[in-house]
Amino acid sequence: MTDWEAKAAAKRAQRDALLPKDTLLPSAPTDLDVSSVPATSGILSARELEITGTPSITALLDALKARTYSAEEVVSAFCRRAAIAHQLTNCLTEIFFDRALAHARDLDAEYARTGRPRGPLHGLPVSLKEQIAVRGVERSFGFVGWLGRVPESDAAITTLLVEAGAVPYCITNVAQHLGFGAAVNNVFGETCNPHNRNLTPGGSSGGEGALIALRGSVLGVGSDIGGSVRIPAGFSGLYSLRPSYQRFPYEGTCNSQEGQESLRSVLGPMAATVDGLRLAFKAVIDGRPWRLDPVVLRMPWSEERYRLAEHGGGERLVFGMMSDDGFVRAAPPYARALADVKAALETAGHTVVPWKAYDAERGYALFGEVWMADGHKDLYDTLALSGEPRVGPLGSGPETLLEDEVTITKYWEIQYRKQRFLKEQLDHWNRTAEHTGTGRPVDAIICPVSATPPQTLRGRQYYGYTAWCNLADLPSAVIPVTRVNPAKDLKVTRDDYYNWLDKELWEMYDPEVYKNGPIGVQIIGQKDEDEAVIRMAEIVDAALKASKSC
């Protein structure tokens, strides 16, 4: 065993020793689908199952404010369910349950004394992605060379959530250097998808996705790296929001050690129920994040945007729908999911029109040039601290580019081409006003979250369906729609392909391999339309639920 392997093993042992002994499973389940295990294991009481199985985050917050549940018993229930989720998927990196319970007891005492809840998230347990600083809790980003680094203060997002009454209690696993659509690194290993443990839960916030999917959390915070990628929470069958770059805070400190703050990320909420997106985003924005993070715009929550004032008040919306970006076609399950969404929206009185991607091949190449401008020098310098190797799935970077560090002059030339492309893309969107019949462009775009269902562990990845949102800084929300069904999502033979990647990903699809993998869609708005995107996600989700109840 190498030195770095020994350090990683010791860290994992230290983490696992913090799991409550009465939550340990008697044996490791062998089923691929373990989504029902927390509820059927016999470990959680009826009261704990009631709390963690709440039908909505709003209902749970109402119960906390009505004192139907105390903050302590809610936090305890989620800590115990998180411990079970971790044993099933390897989703946690840091555990501080005792500290969270003490925090919850303080909230209960304060509520009893003042008669007022702390804030809009009073008593709600929240989980956080590994990159987010929590004072006194080790933060390594999944690098062996960064083990032992402990933040001396909270990140801005942590501060704002705590001020709103939330209770952080655990940290979740990530992709090495936060740079691909899975959650695997040399310190904590690989997180799997609870619906099919041969598949990834997505990433780089994969630990967060797996935890929420098993209801070990109902609200968490994940991220995109600015200018980089994510395969979002739709891969775990839950809801997520990617805000515009300067709307949601990040910055924190970590005892002044270099490297820990080199990544500026776009953080966003991930939730078990759709109302969590609005509750979390609004609570953070109402906390005036610009007073803590110098990058965040002084842009308060806009009820006007949320009520869709620029989109006909939400009546008779026009959605552009894309099932194929013209560079890599999405796998068969997405065609069924999009058809279900289209039918549900039309039944609800909205209009769905085809959307043609604007030069996806060129956009994907530009995205790669921005993402890999440093040739991953930061990554390799960090790996050298411990001697650990690089890990990740096939295709964890745009395959057309070599990892060469570009000059400053070349980088600004890339940025110039990027801005020209984004203007052309914006014009392409705005020209749809000529055909919608409403006098305005399509209100939002609906498309797959990836070209494939949740990939096999270390399987080939394509980021194009989300990368264009990162490149153009477009807010997007992900909602779950269905699961891969081998009887319905048959493999389809094609005679022609756009390129080698399109061919490889299409032929890789096997409905039995991907069985039960969650399939979600994105709702994408124009820049800084975060509140509008949240509302449109609620509308799409409600339409889907209404159609399924008929």
| CA distance linking residue 369 with residue 363, whole number of Å | 10
Cα 246 to the center of its chain, rounded Å:
17
The one catalytic residue among 127, 140, 204, 223 = 204
Q: Is 209 annotated as a binding residue?
A: no
| CA distance linking residue 449 with residue 46, whole number of Å | 36
Rg, the chain, Cα only = 22
DSSP-based helix, strand, coil % in the chain, nearest 5: 40, 15, 45
Please name every residue paired with 129 in a beta bridge, in sequence order, or none if there are none. Answer: 172
- Hey, is 110 helix, strand or coil? helix
The one catalytic residue among 205, 228, 240, 450 = 228
The number of beta carbons lying within 10 Å of the beta carbon of residue 49 is: 16
Q: Is 228 annotated as a binding residue?
A: yes
Closest CA to 204 of 190, 223, 185: 223
- Hey, is 360 helix, strand or coil? helix
For residue 204, give both structure tokens: 């780089």
- Peptide bond preceding 386: is omega within 30 degrees of 0, i.e. cis? no
| CA distance linking residue 447 with residue 479, whole number of Å | 11
In terms of C-beta density within 10 A (0-12 exposed, 13-18 middle, 19 or more buried), how is residue 40 classed? exposed
The one catalytic residue among 7, 11, 129, 418 = 129
For tokens 């339409």, name the residue: 543
Please name every residue paired with 476 in a beta bridge, in sequence order, or none if there are none. Answer: 242, 524
Please name every residue paired with 321 in a beta bridge, in sequence order, or none if there are none. Answer: 354, 446
Q: Which residues lie closer than 8 Å to 465 by C-beta, 6 or more apart? A: 325, 330, 447, 448, 449, 450, 451, 522
Q: Is 223 annotated as a binding residue?
A: no
204 belongs to the catalytic site? yes
For residue 290, give both structure tokens: 């610009």
For residue 500, give both structure tokens: 């080698």
Q: Which residues lie closer than 8 Å to 384 by C-beta, 6 or more apart? A: 145
Q: Is 145 annotated as a binding residue?
A: no
| CA distance linking residue 55 with residue 64, whole number of Å | 14
129 belongs to the catalytic site? yes
Strands 125-129 and 219-225, by their bridges, are parallel
| CA distance linking residue 489 with residue 176, whole number of Å | 32
Feature table: binding site: 178, 204, 225-228
Q: Which amino acids are annotated catalytic?
A: 129, 204, 228
Feature table: binding site for substrate: 178, 204, 225-228
